[in-house]
Structure 1
Amino acid sequence: MAGRALSLRDIERLPTGTDALRRRVAALLPPGSGEGVLADAVSGLLWSKPSPPAVRAAAYRLLADLPNVRYLGQATDPTGRPGRLFAFTLDASGAQRHLVIDPVSSQVLSSSDGADGGGRNASAERDEIVLAAGWTDDVPSP
Structure 2
Amino acid sequence: MDDLREIRTVLAKPEPSPEVVARRRGQLHAAMSGRAPRRRTRLLLVPVAAAAVAAAVVVAVARPGGAPPAATTARDVLLVAATTAERTPEGSGTYWHITVTVGSRPPSEYWYRRDGQFWIKGKGLKGGGKLFRFTTKPQPFTLGPLRMSFDELRGLPVDEDALYTRLRSAVAGSGIRTSAGAPSEKELDGFAVETLISLVSEAPVTPQVRAAAYRALAARPGVTDLGESGGGRRLRVPLSGGDREVVVDPDTARVRDTPVWVPLTGGVAFTDGEGVTIDAEWTDELPAE
TM-score tier, shorter chain, comes to 0.7 to 0.9
The CA deviation at 1:5 is 2.6
Measure, in 2, the Cα distance between the counterparts of 1:2 and 1:47: 14
Could you say which residue in structure 2 is the equivalent of 1:118? none
Provide the C-alpha distance between the structure 2 equivalents of 1:63 and 1:51, rounded to a whole number of angstroms: 16
CA contact (8 A) 2:202 2:280 kept: no
Please list, as runs of the form range in 1=range in 2, the aligned pairs for 1:88-99 lying within 5 A after superposition.
88-91=237-240, 93-94=241-242, 96-99=243-246
Report deviation, 1:125: 2.8
2:233 is aligned with 1:84: yes
Q: Does 1:54 align with 2:208?
A: yes
Which residue of the partner structure matches residue 127 of structure 2? Answer: none
- Offset, 1:141: 4.0
| Kept after mapping to 2: 8 A contact 1:87/1:97 | yes
Deviation of the 1:66 alpha carbon: 0.5
Q: CA deviation at 1:6?
A: 2.9
Residue by residue over 1:96-115, the C-alpha shift from the partner in whole angstroms, topping out at 9 and shown as x without a partner, is 332211221111112125xx
Confirm whether residue 38 of structure 1 aligns to residue 176 of structure 2. Answer: no
- Asked whether 1:111 is paired with 2:258, we answer yes
Please give the TM-score of this superposition, normalised by the length of structure 2: 0.39
Pick one of 248, 271, 275 that aligns with 1:101. 248
Residue by residue over 1:47-87, the C-alpha shift from the partner in whole angstroms, topping out at 9 and shown as x without a partner, is: 121121000100010000000322222111xxxxx111122
Query: Letter of the aligned partner of 2:275 in structure 1?
Result: D
Overall identity of the aligned pairs, in %: 31
Judged with a 3 Å threshold, the aligned counterparts in structure 2 of structure 1 residues 3 and 34 are, in CA distance, closer, same or farther, namely closer
User: Secondary structure, in 3 states, of the residue corresponding to 2:275?
Assistant: strand
Structure 2: distance between partners of 1:75 and 1:99: 10
Tell me if structure 2 keeps the 8 A contact 1:35–1:68: no
CA separation in 2, counterparts of 1:73 and 1:63?
17
Residue 25 of structure 1 deviates from its aligned partner by 1.1
Which one of the candidate residues 152, 155, 158 is aligned to 1:10? 152
C-alpha change, 1:87 and 1:10, in structure 2 (3 Å) is: farther
Q: Which residue matches 2:169?
A: 27
Q: Could you tell me how far 1:3 is from its partner in structure 2?
A: 4.0
Question: Contact 1:36/1:68 (CA < 8 Å) preserved in 2?
Answer: no
Once the two structures are superposed, residues 4-26 of structure 1 have per-residue CA deviations (whole angstroms, 9 ceiling, x without a partner) of: 33332221010001111111111
Indicate the RMSD between aligned Cα atoms, in angstroms. 2.2
Residues in 1 aligned to 2:150 and 2:288: alpha-carbon distance in whole angstroms: 21
2:276 maps to: 128
Q: Bigger radius of gyration, 1 or 2?
A: 2
Unaligned 5+ segments in structure 2 are 1-142, 174-184, 261-271
d(CA) in 2 for partners of 1:23, 1:87: 22
| Residue 46 of structure 1, CA deviation | 0.6
Q: Secondary structure at the match of 1:44?
A: helix
Q: Secondary structure at the match of 1:34?
A: helix
The structural deviation recorded for 1:90 is 1.8
**Contact kept? 1:39, 1:69, Cα under 8 Å:** no
Partners of 2:192 and 2:285 lie apart in 1 by: 33
Greater relative contact order (Cα 8 A, min sep 6): structure 1 or 2? 2
